[in-house]
Amino acid sequence: MTFECGRNKSASVLLGDVDAAADHEGPSPADITKLAREIKHATLPLGYALEFYDDDHREADRLTDRVREWISTSKCDGLRVVVLSCSGGEKPSLRFLPESWAGRLSLEFAAELKRIESLSCARKAGFSVQVRRTGESHTNRISQEAFLCSCSSEARLLIECIQRQFQKHVKFVFGGSSMTVNLRPSGKLLRINRTQNTVSECHPVITHELAMSLRDSTPLSTYRIADADDFRAAVLAGIGKAFLVPAGPERL
């Protein structure tokens, strides 16, 4: 039996390669995909996954729908998924998949589940609201560790690559829903949006490198973060070239 858990991960990341060939090496160890494939192709009898959402509850709904659909078509009886969605001041939403398992739990743990459903979710811990100064807006700041634990594996790898290559030349600002990579002493390079798993507000040379790499005739304002070397290479190349471009007004 194996247990995995995650926070605010997108359904596409958690179930990205679930139907790939048995010898496929793509899934990362912490994803539902890994559990499902070890049950389906290996000898794992049971795999449990707890996915917690305290940000975008639509992603919790998407994950629930995708897991329910996959279980019904794959006939994978050993996968057990718990989706817990909790917003400050509201009652928690607790869903169990597959439905047959949910039915047994509702009978065996009826009193416990009723107590959980009667609770009210607390406000997010670890998120502090900075004091607003003149000309500034409120900003939720969190630690780098908290952001990396809750973002996708693709975004985490991209951030780590940027940090390794440009640590002395850039600074990171981590917020509850996004983070920015900034030039020292000033100037924004790009924004990574955690829930959408995208990059936006890119420096023009980064946008150019991404467009060239992805063969887009017209550069886009937002790019979905891809788990591919070409995508990361384009971002890193753009950041390197941005150091050679005179800084313009910073976009707030």
**Tens-digit pLDDT profile for residues 64-89:** 998 888 888 876 778 899 999 987 77
Long-range contacts of 148-152 (CB under 8 A, 24+ apart): 149/7, 150/7, 150/8, 150/9, 150/55, 150/194, 151/8, 151/192, 151/194, 151/197, 152/9, 152/10, 152/13, 152/194, 152/197, 152/225
Does the residue 180 lie in any domain? Answer: yes
Predicted local distance difference test score (pLDDT) of residue 170: 92
Does the residue 199 lie in any domain? Answer: yes
Q: Are residues 103 and 182 in the same domain?
A: no
Calculate what percentage of the chain has a pLDDT beyond 90: 34
Q: Are residues 108 and 159 in the same domain?
A: no
Q: Are residues 6 and 109 in the same domain?
A: yes
Give the pLDDT band of residue 207 (cuts 50, 70, 90): very high
Does the residue 124 lie in any domain? Answer: no
Where is average pLDDT lowest: 75-79, 104-108, 232-236, 237-241?
75-79
How many domains are there within the chain? 2
pLDDT over 50 (residue 252): no
Strand-pairing partners, residue 52, are 7, 84
Does the residue 128 lie in any domain? Answer: no
Q: Are residues 82 and 50 in the same domain?
A: yes
Mean pLDDT over each residue of the chain, to the nearest integer: 81
Domain-terminating residue out of 117, 151, 181: 117
Does the residue 247 lie in any domain? Answer: no
**Tens-digit pLDDT profile for residues 115-143:** 888 887 766 544 443 444 433 343 468 88
Q: What pTM, to 2 d.p., does this model score?
A: 0.48
Domain holding 113, by residue range, is 2-117
Segment 148-176 shows an average pLDDT of 90
Q: Are residues 146 and 73 in the same domain?
A: no
Does the residue 252 lie in any domain? Answer: no
Predicted local distance difference test score (pLDDT) of residue 32: 79
